[in-house]
Amino acid sequence: MTEFIQQLINGLAWGSIYALIALGYTMVYGILRLINFAHGEVYMIGAMTGYYAVHWGMGTGSLYHLLAVICIAMLVCSLLGWAIERAAYRPMRQAPRLNVLITAIGVSLFLQFSGQYIFGADPKPFPALIENKNVLDLHGVVLSNIQVTIFVSSIVLMLGLRYIVFNTQMGKAMRAVSYDHTASYLVGINVNRVISFTFILGSALAGAAGILVGLSNPTVNPLMGLMPGIKAFIAAVLGGIGNIPGALIGGLIMGVAETMVSGYLSGTYRDALAFIILIIILVVRPQGLLGKSTQEKV
């Protein structure tokens, strides 16, 4: 039982990182009907930003340093997300969806391999931004301060996202654009601006996820975005792509399932599991857990 609860906690921590990445997939899909395969690379750039920020003189050790690094990574990633949309997807706005999808894969590969060229292919040790301590030890169930940080940051970011999407004019415009582009620009919404804004929001979340992963993973490398990117995408599909609460639930389920499998079966099944989930969900419930054909999409 102790082990089970421990695995659950580890899984939820890992899952909230997936959820942060999945939110970016789901928002972009909601608004453009595009799977932005470059999203995993944005997350990689987030982690790299963290590495270089510390490498080039940011201090470590306190919560303030951690917050500062997260903010820098979010900033860099939102710029990157904006630039990707501007340079790669906007010229393809009128093109068939398959072309845009292939563009997305191209951007993803471009970022992976220019990452290898610029940063070097070797894994880099991610600096310990905060010292790993156990804050809670209950009959063998351990909760570390890193896990607490991951939980708190993802909850804060998701609540912030929720607030922006549901309470501000920009969020309302996002929901309007995701429903009907034509009607949106005919009531005076600058659709391109809303799309840029969506990319900025999603990429900022991925940037934060990159730092949070760096906290629990010892190394970062230019190809690290590939698997988490695909898994977060599967998490978004699992929850119902285009659906914000769906991305959250999908991410958490994905994280828990992975930890359980590697804990009770074997670590080698870990990556296979994601694809098994994808196959099952596409066969049994292609619209995802929370998705309906008439569901509100952002």
Partner 1 sequence: MNNPLLKVENCGIQFGGLKALDGLDFSLNSGELLGVIGPNGAGKTTFFNLLTGVYLPTDGSLFFKSNLLNQLKPHQINQLGISRTFQNIRLFLNLSVLDNVCIAFHQHIQYSLWDVICHRKKYIEEEKQIKAKALELLERFHLHETKNELAKNLSYGDQRRLEMVRALATRPQLLLLDEPAAGMNPTEKKELIELIRHLHQELNLAIILIEHDMSVMMQLCPRIIVLDYGVVIAEGTPEYIRQHPAVIKAYLGEKKDAKSL
Is residue 175 within the footprint of partner 1 (CB under 8 A)? yes
Binder among 35, 74, 165, 173 for partner 1 (CB under 8 A)? 173
- Between CA 108 and CA 223 the distance in angstroms is 10
Stretch that binds partner 1, among 62-70, 98-106, 186-194, 233-241 (CB under 8 A): 186-194
3-state helix/strand/coil string of 144-212: EHHHHHHHHHHHHHHHHHHHHHHHCHHHHHHHHHHHCHHHHHHCCCCHHHHHHHHHHHHHHHHHHHHHH
Is residue 169 within the footprint of partner 1 (CB under 8 A)? yes
**Is the CB of 52 or the CB of 185 nearer to partner 1?**
185
The site that binds partner 1 (CB under 8 A) totals a number of residues, namely 27
Strand, helix or coil for residue 222: coil
Is residue 93 within the footprint of partner 1 (CB under 8 A)? no
CA distances from residue 6 to 3, 87, 256, 273 in whole angstroms, order as listed: 5, 45, 11, 20
**Is the CB of 71 or the CB of 102 nearer to partner 1?**
71
Site for partner 1 in 209-268 (CB under 8 A): none
**Is the CB of 244 or the CB of 281 nearer to partner 1?**
244
Q: Which of 84, 101, 103 is nearest to 42 (CA)?
A: 84
Binder among 1, 118, 138, 187 for partner 1 (CB under 8 A)? 187
| CB proximity list for 90: less than 8 A, separation 6 or greater | 192, 195
Judge whether 17 and 154 are in contact, CB under 8 Å: yes
Is residue 167 within the footprint of partner 1 (CB under 8 A)? yes
Is residue 82 within the footprint of partner 1 (CB under 8 A)? no
Is residue 190 within the footprint of partner 1 (CB under 8 A)? yes
Provide the 8-state DSSP code for 85: I
Is residue 155 within the footprint of partner 1 (CB under 8 A)? no
Binder among 188, 266, 268, 293 for partner 1 (CB under 8 A)? 188
Positive or negative: CA dihedral 147, 149, 152, 154: negative
Backbone phi, then psi, for 219, in 5-degree steps? Answer: -130, 160
**Is the CB of 234 or the CB of 244 nearer to partner 1?**
244
Is residue 67 within the footprint of partner 1 (CB under 8 A)? no
Binder among 189, 205, 236, 252 for partner 1 (CB under 8 A)? 189
Q: Which residues bind partner 1 (CB under 8 A)?
A: 160, 163-164, 167-170, 172-173, 175-176, 179-180, 182-191, 197, 294, 296-297
